[in-house]
Every structure is written in structure tokens, then in C-alpha cells.
Structure 1
């Protein structure tokens, strides 16, 4: 995961822009009438997120578009405000949608760091938390795989995942992702989570949920397959085992400086510490 700065957008400005995209004047007035309530919700969201308590935000019922979630505003109307006034092109809210989409460096998904950003993920799903549909702090640029894998669940203390805008820097600073090279006919990388002993239990649980829910073990293994083949071709050009070890360690240092818990860093760590692989095993990939 790559942490991102929270969008430098005022929630009330984004909310007002989306309202300006409505063609129904009566509905527009109803949304404007609750502006103060919405501002209070946005402040409450930040408070909970900063203290790792977003699961305390009250969820709405699944489905039930007609459910009143804030006085005089239905759940379906909040969802439509996002879908029709923020996502749709040529609407006033679309500029803010695009700004959040572009906030991910090189348009790489911050959840998996391999996929291409193609959508905005509602960290608290609009299926259960529709009144947060247009809140910038609740909108994360994401790839389709991560958005789908994360799902539209009601948040609880047990199923939380790291929030790219609010998570502690320990998720990037400390090593928690590991890999091993499986010595089979065509070697592959097997990924797993090793939670640091000094981490608080809730942080470890969030990372474990994130790794499982986004199917990162399988996705990272697929990504690593191509790198293992490239690695093998390069190692084959080196005549001494010491040179192969030095090369793998140099690559490990470079990857570790770039992203400590990317799919590539534990792959090079595994390769540099696997005598079977760097002596003869890599040749199976040629």
C-alpha cells in the first residue's frame, strides 16, 4: 500500500458543486437545506478516521433506496448525487472527481501498487454509507481489481483495512510482506504476511484483512512470475555465484528504497537469500 495525502478539497465546496448539477430544483433545495448536517458528518468522519474508529460510523440498510438517511433525503438520492452529478462528464462535480483520480502518482493504484487507477473507491461503501458519497476523504483512486475485491461491506472493528489517507506510516516503514521462492519445475513466488511483533493488534488485523480481501498473494505472485524470468536471464549472464548474489542484493536495496512492501522487494529478498535459486534453481526459468 502507498499512503496518499488527503485530497486538498473542501467537502462543502464539492457537495455544493454536485448540487449545482441537479436539474430538479426542489431536490436541490432539499440538499442545500441539510448543508450544515453534512458539514458535521464530514468533520465526524475525519475524527473517526484519525483515531482508527471509522467502524463507529452508523451504517444504513442494504438496498432500500427509499430509506431516509438524513431528514428529508433518501439513500437513493445520495447515491444518485454521486453517480449523476460527480461521475458524469460535463457536470460541475466532475472536476473534483478527476482531481481525486489524478492524485495517485503515475495513476498507479495505492492499494496494490500494480493496477492502473480507473475508478474511485468509496472507503466506506455508498451501499451502506450513502451520505458520504461525495466526501473527498472517503474517495480513493483505485484500480478495478482493488475496488471490486474490497467490496461493499458494512465496516466493523474486525474487517477494517488500511485507509490510504489516514493510515500510520508504519505500513510503509516496517517490513510486513514476505515472499519465498517455491522450488518446483517452474519456480514461483509465494507471498504472505508477517506482522511485526511491536505492532498494535488492530494495525496487524487491518493489514491481514487488506492482503486477504484484495487477493494480493495471488496477484503479487502473477506479477512476480515475469520478474523471475527476467531475473533468471540476467543471472545466467553472470559466471560466478558471488556475482549473482551481489546483483540480487543490489536490486534488493534499490527496491527497498523505492517501496519496502511492494511485491518486488520481498521477491528480491527471497532470491538473494535462497542458495538453491541463485546457484542452480534460476536455470529452470530459462
Structure 2
């Protein structure tokens, strides 16, 4: 959740040529050497800006080709001339980085191709994502009016502090139902980054979408948890802490599962009687 390894660029020059050349060899648009160099300069600036907006990403030298680059994204779809690029990016992760559980089927343009056509097929502007997250994010872009929100973090380039900033607030209702709400809270974090992370949780409606995931996850863990609880509350709490740490090694310390187990391990009511809550709807 949150971050992915930076995408391998592959062969950008070859991708440009393939995107703008029909299978019969006829050009859709014949790039000049000046335009090709300008596209590479845009790619380099994108890296330097860590994917954030900059006027230099829309140089005048690319005014003629911008729409063709925008339209070339159709070749990244299944059956297109660049479908291998799509397959490679989707295969780079097993779960959507925006939510941490969704099946990756879409490619999200972090900077929208409607504005930045030059980046329509650039691998590091394409974030593998699930359909619900991609649909929820569509109208969100870096630099949008502040009244609309601060935008989402870049899954490839955002620097996140090595600390626990995702927290799960758990309440137990009288009927044994768990109520779980995730939030971002880190006193030492830059307020602008904290606002962006919380905005991402809210914009993608993750708290509502996590309910089914929490139910499913706790149901899968139910047998092991109840067996370990027989050894005593303290050992059970330690088991939850160690499970949280093990998941953090695989998914990061601010994955939703990690935050959930971290909270449950510190909750006396749950550690005293997990059987009263496990297996019931969240």
C-alpha cells in the first residue's frame, strides 16, 4: 500500500516508434529528431520533478505531436502495439498501491494525459491500480485548486517517513460488532503530506471499502488467533504484535492490515476475549 518500486523504463525510444507507427510500417506521426529529443527532455524533467507538474513538461516544441502522443495510449491497451508495456506494468505489483488490496487491472495516469499528452505512454506516469481506485481518482490531479483537495501521493516517487502514520481506531459495539476506522496521524510529519495522505483515504472511500476486507482478513485469521489466545492474554497480544511486524516486512509498516493488528494487540478488551468479536461483521 502507498508506494511501489519505480517502474523499469524498458526502451522508451522503441516505445515511441512503435506507438507512432502502424503495423504496416506507415507512420501515424513522423517524429522529428528535435521532437524526439524534446520528449526525452520531458521524461528527464518528470524524473527530476518527482512526477509533479511543471510548465516544462509541456514544451512548445511538442505542440504538434502532443495529441498524437495522447492518442497513442490506445496502443497500450490489450491488442495494441504496446500491449507488452501494459502487461509489464500490471505485473509489477500484486495489489493496487492506492488501496492495498484491489486487483490491478487499470493504468492510472498520475499526471492526466488530457493535459500532459507527452507522458501518455511514459511508464513512470502509469500507476497500476484497481478499477475502483482509478475511477475515484480520475478527476484528481497534482496542482488542482486547493479547495478541491491536495491530491494523491505519487506511488513511485513520494518519500514517506519511516514511522507509523496509519492508525486503526477500533470500537466494540454491545453486540460484538467491530467498528474500524483508519486515519493518518503523525505529529512529526509535514502537515501538507499528512493532509495529502488523509485526502487519499477519504477520496478513495477506503474506510467504507476496508470493511469487507477487515471481515475477510479476520475470518481467515480466526482459527489461529483463538488457538493462540488459549496461551494467555499476554502471549496472544505478543502474537498479534509479531504478526503485525511480519506483515510490515512484506507490505510496509503503514499497510491497513499492519495498522489493524497493531491496534488489536494493544486493546485489552480484544486480547481478553477475541472470541466475542472474531467472525462477526465489522
Q: TM-score, normalised by structure 1?
A: 0.81
Q: Does 1:260 align with 2:271?
A: no
Offset of residue 204 of structure 1: 2.1
The runs of 5 or more residues in structure 1 that have no matched partner are: 61-67
Distance 1:144 1:32, change over 3 A: farther
Separation in 2, partners of 1:113, 1:130: 28
Q: How does 1:119-198 map to 2 (within 5 A)?
A: 119-156=106-143, 158=146, 159-170=150-161, 173-184=162-173, 185=175, 186-194=177-185, 196-198=186-188
CA RMSD between the two structures? 2.9
8 A contact 1:127–1:152 mirrored in 2 = no
Q: Does 1:99 align with 2:88?
A: yes
Separation in 2, partners of 1:69, 1:218: 46
The runs of 5 or more residues in structure 2 that have no matched partner are: none
Q: How does 1:231-270 map to 2 (within 5 A)?
A: 231-237=221-227, 238-239=229-230, 240-258=232-250, 259-270=252-263
8 A contact 1:22–1:28 mirrored in 2 = no
Separation in 2, partners of 1:73, 1:18: 12
8 A contact 2:29–2:65 mirrored in 1 = no
8 A contact 1:255–1:264 mirrored in 2 = yes
Q: How many residues are matched?
A: 268
Q: Does 1:226 align with 2:226?
A: no
Offset of residue 18 of structure 1: 0.8
Q: How does 1:49-128 map to 2 (within 5 A)?
A: 49=50, 54-57=52-55, 70-73=62-65, 75=67, 77-83=68-74, 85-89=75-79, 91=81, 93-104=82-93, 107-128=94-115
SS in 1 for 2:239: helix
Q: TM-score, normalised by structure 2?
A: 0.82
8 A contact 2:96–2:130 mirrored in 1 = yes
8 A contact 2:170–2:178 mirrored in 1 = yes
SS in 1 for 2:189: coil
Separation in 1, partners of 2:30, 2:169: 59
